[in-house]
Amino acid sequence: MSGDISVQPCPDGPLLVRGASTVTDAEGNEHQVSRPVVALCVCGRSGSAPWCDGTHKLLRSTGSSAPIRKPR
């Protein structure tokens, strides 16, 4: 994919990334992108990181919104 890359934060949710061909996670691993738009986890609790799996919705319903971040 080529062209502009845009990032749009969703309220209480993921970052929507448009136009990227790869995403590099916090550990430096590259993930290939095959879709025009991907959702990146910002809560730190996704089971399919760096992709959002909807876990943030469960956190909101239980009142546990603090992100869990892995130490670098």
Q: What does the DSSP assignment read for 1-68?
A: --S--EEEEPTTS-EEEES-SEEE-TTS-EEE--SSEEEE--SS--TTTTB--SHHHHHHHHT-----
pTM for this one? 0.76
pLDDT attached to residue 57: 87
pLDDT attached to residue 26: 86
Mean pLDDT by 10 residues, the chain (72 residues): 84 94 94 96 92 88 57 45
All domains of the chain in start order, with CATH: 6-62 (3.40.5)
